Amino acid sequence: MEKAAYLPRALLSCVCTIYATIQLIFNRLVEKWRTKSSDGKVTTTITPVSVPEVKVTLFTKLIFEEGGFAKNYCDPLELAQLPRVMLGEGSLGTLFKLILNCGYIVTARVIREMLVKPDDFELWINFFGGIRNTLLLPMHLSFWYAGEAFIVYEYLCLGSLEELLHGSEGIQYTPLSWEVRKHIALCAAMAIHFIHNQVTEGGSILVCGVVKASNILIRTDCSACLSGYEMPYLVPLTTIIRRNPGRVAPELISTEIYPKKFTAESDVYSFGILLLELITAKRPTTTNLGEYVTEKRKREGLIDICDPKLGEVNESMMEMIGIAESCLSHRPKDRPSMDRVVHTLQGMKD
């Protein structure tokens, strides 16, 4: 009985000893944290344990760079993480406006890896990145980041011909004058002519695929440059045709002609549609411009074809309609070359 009574007392004594030891250690630790301030007051300072930062570096690979762009303006990793303002969707990917930390503004097209074959994509981007002409929108940089491809271009604040020609009318809206439209048409024709004078590594001439107002970008002096000229080499032909109703040549949508491919002649047809869009200010996606002009000519003559915002119809407008109609010839061989189109536009009367 005495042993049975002794065991609980011994256990209690042991617990009390352990508690007193822990309390003593805690008090000594607190004393180390306690400091006196300049006014004699005692304060307690506890330094939190720091948690090491974990940085995740995603895969980045440079594809093309124009003359030290990354060093002078922004490296790819930094650029990929900048805030983006969406400008639009295209056949190849989404277009964004980015403001670099240095203040320089660029346009970036972001493409998901699944949409392109990486090896082919890198080959063509390096090829087109090496082509330089004031008539073409310059490519600054291209790289892979986190499974997406970035193509970085110069940013033009006036935007595209489509925005200026079909934009909403507001307080700051100013219709494009006929002189400006003529100059834009000539710049676009010269750009296409330049493309047709370049050849691939296999010896084939380059083509634009589809010439459209959204790919004609306007500089502040109202000159124009061509963008999207790499698309037919990165995007399947069927996708481009499907996304551009009213702009592609008849041989590309015919069920009797195989195999289908973009040619210099199909570019000329597409340019003819662009000329009619400039003259009529009507969208080819909602109006068959070739048929529209033909029917108008039969019923009312050429005068009522022109955009009313152009004011009085003059001889050069009639000349441009004639150039457009020759470009829209049903047979590809009957269409003029872009060299001839350029010379005809240059010879138009003021």
Q: What is the pLDDT of residues 273-310, one digit of tens each?
A: 999 999 999 999 898 999 999 888 888 877 789 999 99
- Is the predicted pLDDT of residue 54 greater than 60, yes or no? no
Does one domain contain both 66 and 210?
no
Predicted confidence band of residue 20 (pLDDT cuts 50, 70, 90): low
Does one domain contain both 94 and 243?
no
Q: CATH no. for residue 136?
A: 3.30.200.20
Does one domain contain both 94 and 226?
no
- Is the predicted pLDDT of residue 40 greater than 80, yes or no? no
- Residue 339 parent element (H or E): helix 338-346
Looking at residue 39, its pLDDT comes to 52
The count of domains in the chain is 2
Judge whether 27 lies within some domain: no
Does one domain contain both 320 and 198?
yes
Which residues constitute the domain of residue 67?
60-154
How far from chain centre, in Å, is Cα 254? 31
Judge whether 178 lies within some domain: yes
Looking at residue 10, its pLDDT comes to 52
Could you give the CA distance from residue 296 to residue 65 in angstroms, rounded to a whole number? 50
The percentage of the chain sitting over the pLDDT mark of 90, rounded to a whole number, equals 63
DSSP 284: T
Segment 119-139, tens digit of pLDDT: 899 999 999 999 999 999 999
Judge whether 199 lies within some domain: yes
Judge whether 20 lies within some domain: no
Judge whether 44 lies within some domain: no
Predicted confidence band of residue 185 (pLDDT cuts 50, 70, 90): very high
Does one domain contain both 220 and 199?
yes
Mean pLDDT of the chain: 85
Does one domain contain both 150 and 291?
no
Predicted confidence band of residue 173 (pLDDT cuts 50, 70, 90): low
Joined tokens for residue 290: 């070739």
pTM listed for this prediction: 0.81
Q: CATH no. for residue 253?
A: 1.10.510.10
Does one domain contain both 173 and 306?
yes
**Count H helices, E strands: the chain?**
12, 10
End-to-end CA distance of the chain: 127
Looking at residue 227, its pLDDT comes to 95
Q: CA nearest 95: which of 214, 226, 232?
A: 214
**Residue 146 φ/ψ region, left for φ over 0, alpha for ψ in the -120 to 50 degree band, beta for the rest:** left
Does one domain contain both 99 and 203?
no
The percentage of the chain sitting over the pLDDT mark of 70, rounded to a whole number, equals 82
Does one domain contain both 147 and 220?
no
- Is the predicted pLDDT of residue 183 greater than 90, yes or no? yes
Does one domain contain both 206 and 291?
yes
Looking at residue 5, its pLDDT comes to 46
